Chain A
Amino acid sequence: MIRHPVWLGLAAIVALLLAGLAAPRWLLSLGTLSAASGLVSLGVVLMMRGGVVSFGQGLVFAAGGYAAALLANKAGVSDALLLLLAGGASAVLVAAPFAPLLGRYRGIFFAMLTLALSMVLYGLLVKWDALGGSDGFNMRRPTVFGAPLPEGWWAYILYAIAVVLAGSMAIAARLYFDSARGLVSLAMRDNELRVEYLGASVQRMVAWNFVIAAFIGGVGGSLAIMALGHIEPNFSYWTTSGEFVFVAILAGSHSVGAVFAASFILELVRSFSSSYFPNTWQLALGVFLLIVIRFLPGGLGSLLRRTPKTRP
């Protein structure tokens, strides 16, 4: 009972909310950002469990971010929760038309086609002057439940929203992973032809997983823009997408908690090293990733498993 993922998740949310009260401001915004990009990586993990890796999650990240920013600035929608939902919904709107198409692809072709889609969006955003072109634009600060927030508490409240949101999505993801559909996804990764013979449509599963990941990623994108206050086409650039895959590989597909931990590690390393060694931090990141792939193929999450695999 106590081991049930829902209770574990709720306990983690409460613990993080309490810890946030004592944390300095820079750590809070770091936490918010890692929750935001962690959500996108959670989508990558969700697809990875089904045997495909998207190298273009920047597409939904940017779609969610731009949608939230535009709604806030142009349509006067200011409520944070509404904007988050709208971000997820818009990402689904952008991604869903391609889902049936992507369902036909696997392996490298899936990775490359998703990458191409995100780069198409990047290409459009860079040249679109109404959206600020390559400079992007600033977003107005949102409100919560209709009330503007006091300056001193803004960072914590956004952090709290991020924690609750990311936590509940993580719980939902865990439940989905353990559901019948989630297990079919896992079987697809091992051998999709057998899954087809058992009567499930692999194509449809891949498409649905892509749409679900799009929603999570869109929410992550709108959360990120609220934390940053500024959006630019780089959200959709392939190196951004690469970082989401980086986090997913670092975390592995065993644990949803590990995804956010890995995302936090990445943000922490980035913010420290970009101020102390701006010219070598990518190098360190690359070496780190190589070490993980070589020596920890299951990712950080595999360290948490209670029964380690003994089979070679």
Chain B
Amino acid sequence: MSTFVTIVVDGVTYASWLFIVALGLTLVFGVLKILNIAHGSFYALGAYAAATCVAWLGALQISPWLSLFALLLGSVAVAAVLAPLTERGLLRFFYGRDEVLLVLVTYALFLVLEDATKLVWGVNPYFVSEPYGLFGAVQVGSHSYVGYDFALVAVALACGVGVWWGLNRTRAGKIVLAVIHSAEIAASMGVNIGRVYTYAFMFGIFLAALGGALTAPMISVQPGVSVGVVIVSFAVVIIGGLGSIEGAAIGALIVGLARALAVHTWPEAELFSIYAAMAVVLIFRPEGLFQRVKARRI
């Protein structure tokens, strides 16, 4: 029983940051039709930027709670500076090309950002432990868990609900939905497609960077963190169906629980479990759990 609780808690906390990252990925795909391999690099950049911001604000010695603000600041900085630069400076030249080719463009971007990150922050690991202790410990059954993990679940829920509300209940969101449905028709109705693309990309990257910033206290930030994340979040959005918010949530839960189950019962299968879950879902639902049917074009 206690193992079961541990698996569920571990799975859900893992799923929560994964959901934040995957939400960004699925949003970018929905609007720009780009499956962004470099998403993982922005995750890593978010973690690095957060590490730097925490160190700066920590040096002022005002309040330890300020470090939470530093995490947010880091991810906003990444989204505000790098995302428009990438979208306007690079991606827009490739719009309309084959989807698989766009994957390769972002693969190239991934290679570039990977080394650029190393050039800026070096190859030594950074540790951002300060925010991790802020929420104390929580007792569940006989085990005690770090409060920060549960705060993360709350943030993930807020992100999910926020994005859903923003898309379905606001004017800007409806415009984005129109662009997702058909960019051409939306443009003919007077929507500035370029601007929607830029903002959507910025927001998606913000979510990636936020996911990175929020996990920075739980890991050592070093080269290589981006590589694993992008593949796992791919699994999440593929399971859920590309471009679907509910799908990303369910996908993150499936992946989180599958991984937690493997870690606690059969640790050798940790990596295996994630991709096995993805392969199984794809076999039965070739387009993911929440994908709409597309019309065939002759």
| Measured CA separation A122–B105 after assembly (Å) | 24
| Contact indicator A112/B93 (Cβ below 8 Å) | no
Which 4 A-B residue pairs are closest in the complex by CB-CB distance? A123-B271, A286-B111, A283-B115, A286-B112
Q: How many residues of B contact A (CB 8 A)?
A: 46
| Measured CA separation A293–B111 after assembly (Å) | 15
| Contact indicator B93/A294 (Cβ below 8 Å) | yes
If A282-B112, A286-B109, A294-B93 touch, whether A123 touches B272 (CB-CB below 8 Å) is yes
| Measured CA separation A53–B94 after assembly (Å) | 18
Residue of A nearest to B112 (CB): A286
Contact with A along B249-273 (1 / 0, CB 8 A): 0000000000000000001111110
| Contact indicator B112/A287 (Cβ below 8 Å) | yes
Q: Does A204 contact B (CB under 8 A)?
A: no
Q: What are 11 of the A-B contact pairs (CB < 8 Å)?
A: A55-B103, A109-B287, A113-B279, A116-B238, A116-B275, A120-B272, A193-B296, A238-B231, A282-B115, A283-B111, A294-B93
Q: Does A107 contact B (CB under 8 A)?
A: yes
Q: Does A224 contact B (CB under 8 A)?
A: no
Give the chain B neighbours of A242 by CB distance below 8 A.
107
What secondary structure prevails in chain B residues at the interface with A?
helix
For chain A, which range describes its interface: under 10, 10 to 19, 20 to 34, or 35 or more residues?
35 or more
Q: Which of A117, A238, A239, A294 contacts B94 (CB 8 A)?
A: A294
Besides A108-B242, A109-B282, A120-B276, 12 new A-B residue pairs in contact (Cβ under 8 A), listed by A number = A55-B103, A107-B100, A108-B99, A113-B279, A249-B104, A279-B123, A280-B119, A283-B119, A289-B107, A290-B108, A293-B94, A293-B104
Q: Does B90 contact A (CB under 8 A)?
A: yes
| Contact indicator A289/B111 (Cβ below 8 Å) | yes
Give the chain B neighbours of A208 by CB distance below 8 A.
none
Q: Which of B94, B231, B267, B282 contacts A113 (CB 8 A)?
A: B282
| Contact indicator A101/B283 (Cβ below 8 Å) | yes
Q: Does A181 contact B (CB under 8 A)?
A: no
Q: Does A111 contact B (CB under 8 A)?
A: yes
Q: How far in angstroms is the closest Cβ of chain B from A234?
A: 11
Q: Does A154 contact B (CB under 8 A)?
A: no
Q: How far in angstroms is the closest Cβ of chain B from A99?
A: 13
Q: Which of B100, B235, B279 contacts A108 (CB 8 A)?
A: B100
Q: Does A85 contact B (CB under 8 A)?
A: no
| Measured CA separation A290–B102 after assembly (Å) | 10
| Contact indicator A108/B103 (Cβ below 8 Å) | yes
| Measured CA separation A90–B156 after assembly (Å) | 44
Q: How far in angstroms is the closest Cβ of chain B from A132?
A: 14
| Measured CA separation A128–B269 after assembly (Å) | 10
Give the chain B neighbours of A294 by CB distance below 8 A.
93-94
If A123-B271, A293-B94 touch, whether A116 touches B286 (CB-CB below 8 Å) is no
Give the chain A neighbours of B297 by CB distance below 8 A.
193
Give the chain A neighbours of B227 by CB distance below 8 A.
238-239
| Contact indicator A112/B101 (Cβ below 8 Å) | no
Give the chain B neighbours of A124 by CB distance below 8 A.
272
If A289-B104, A289-B108 touch, whether A283 touches B116 (CB-CB below 8 Å) is yes
If A108-B35, A122-B271 touch, whether A245 touches B115 (CB-CB below 8 Å) is no
Give the chain B neighbours of A123 by CB distance below 8 A.
269-272, 274-275
Q: List CB contacts (< 8 Å) of A119-148 with chain B.
A: 119-120, 122-124, 126-128
Give the chain A neighbours of B103 by CB distance below 8 A.
53, 55, 108, 111
| Contact indicator B276/A193 (Cβ below 8 Å) | no
Contact with B along A259-283 (1 / 0, CB 8 A): 0000000000000000000011111
| Contact indicator A112/B283 (Cβ below 8 Å) | no
| Measured CA separation A281–B111 after assembly (Å) | 9
Give the chain A neighbours of B268 by CB distance below 8 A.
127-128
Q: Does B278 contact A (CB under 8 A)?
A: yes
| Measured CA separation A115–B230 after assembly (Å) | 12
Give the chain B neighbours of A283 by CB distance below 8 A.
111-112, 114-116, 119
Q: How far in angstroms is the closest Cβ of chain B from A288?
A: 8
Residue of B nearest to A237 (CB): B227
| Measured CA separation A285–B108 after assembly (Å) | 7
Residue of B nearest to A279 (CB): B118
Q: How far in angstroms is the closest Cβ of chain A from B203?
A: 22
If A113-B279, A119-B271, A293-B101 touch, whether A285 touches B286 (CB-CB below 8 Å) is no
Contact with B along A32-71 (1 / 0, CB 8 A): 0000000000000000000001010000000000000000
| Contact indicator A53/B100 (Cβ below 8 Å) | yes
Q: Does A105 contact B (CB under 8 A)?
A: yes
Give the chain B neighbours of A286 by CB distance below 8 A.
107-112, 115
Q: Does B201 contact A (CB under 8 A)?
A: no
Q: How far in angstroms is the closest Cβ of chain A from B89?
A: 11
